[in-house]
Structure 1
Amino acid sequence: MAIAKTIEPDQDHTHPVVELRVRATPDQLSVLRALAATVAIHEDFDLDSIADIKLAMDEICTQLIVRATPGAVLVCRLQYLDDTLRVDVSSTTTSVDSLGERSFAWHVLNALTDSVDLKQEPDPATTGFVTTMEFTKVKNGLSL
């Protein structure tokens, strides 16, 4: 079951962050795509950009889900600021592996978005790693 969004108290409330936490399971992908599309529609992205955002969200979440530890949660954060939608998705994964620049998924994300980034750190609470993938999409193809 999905848990609602939050806005961090120390953040600028004129540019809120939408956060959604869901089980790291494939049946949650449609919810995550819908969330990304809704935010993009609300911020007046064009239809092609909305499709790219949905596909990028699907790709990132799929990559994390297949690597997630049992019982892991996906934490998705979306923020629109300065004509750019920033999306980051985190989960606890089983190992540091080939999510990097040479993977097919990375090439797909580069084609769909304006930037993509990956961070992995050991998770002190488990034997896994906290893995965060982030992408940005600029509205109407404006340059960063």
Structure 2
Amino acid sequence: MADTKTIQPEQDRANPVVELRIRATPDQLPVLRALAAAIAVHEDFDVDSIADIRLAMDEICTYLITRSTEDAVLVCRLQYVDRTLSVAVSTTTVDAEYPNTRSFGWHVLDALTDSVDTRQEPDPAGYLTTLEFTKTNGTYS
């Protein structure tokens, strides 16, 4: 069995991070939605919140995939801390275009989540673009 200290010594064992790296292609969207929903189910989110999380994941991943560079990888990190699911999805995009906060898609994200944010930094292949959202679990176990 692997010694986790040698894999990620700085990992916070009380609040683990789930990370998935996949091709930045539309056929991978069901995998990402399923991952987010599985974590939400595991953390006892209600059915409506799980649906919100799946839709928010779909929206941010679609945005990134449609702007990604050829052969890009989508990196999705999910962490549940203090009754809040935090999701960050990153990829290399071809341009420095930020999401239009007046678009329908952004309003959908804003309505489905507790917070949504965008970060971008120059990358040799384009721009490393990250979209993040949080969703608080209103269910008390």
TM-score relative to the length of structure 1: 0.89
Higher relative contact order (CA 8 A, sep 6+): 2
Q: Corresponding residue for 2:128? A: 130
User: Counterparts of 1:1-144 in structure 2 under 5 Å?
Assistant: 8-123=8-123, 125-126=124-125, 128-140=126-138
TM-score relative to the length of structure 2: 0.90
Residue 138 of structure 2 aligns to a residue whose secondary structure is: helix
Is the Cα–Cα contact under 8 Å of residues 100 and 118 in structure 1 kept in the other structure? Answer: no
Which deviations, in whole Å up to 9, do the C-alpha atoms of 1:34-69 show, x marking residues without a partner? 000000000000000000000000000000000000
| Two-structure CA RMSD over aligned residues (Å) | 1.5
Is the Cα–Cα contact under 8 Å of residues 8 and 17 in structure 1 kept in the other structure? Answer: no
Unaligned runs of 5+ in 1: 1-6
Which deviations, in whole Å up to 9, do the C-alpha atoms of 1:63-117 show, x marking residues without a partner? 0000000000000000000000000000000001141422322111000000000
Structure 1: how far apart are the matches of 2:61 and 2:9? 26
Structure 1: how far apart are the matches of 2:12 and 2:39? 18
Structure 2: how far apart are the matches of 1:103 and 1:8? 39
Q: Which amino acid in the other structure matches residue 43 of structure 1? A: E
Is the Cα–Cα contact under 8 Å of residues 87 and 132 in structure 2 kept in the other structure? Answer: yes
Between Structure 1 and Structure 2, whose CA radius of gyration is higher? 2
Is the Cα–Cα contact under 8 Å of residues 17 and 77 in structure 1 kept in the other structure? Answer: yes
Return the offset for 1:141: 7.3
Q: Which amino acid in the other structure matches residue 78 of structure 2? A: L
Identical counterparts, % of pairs: 67
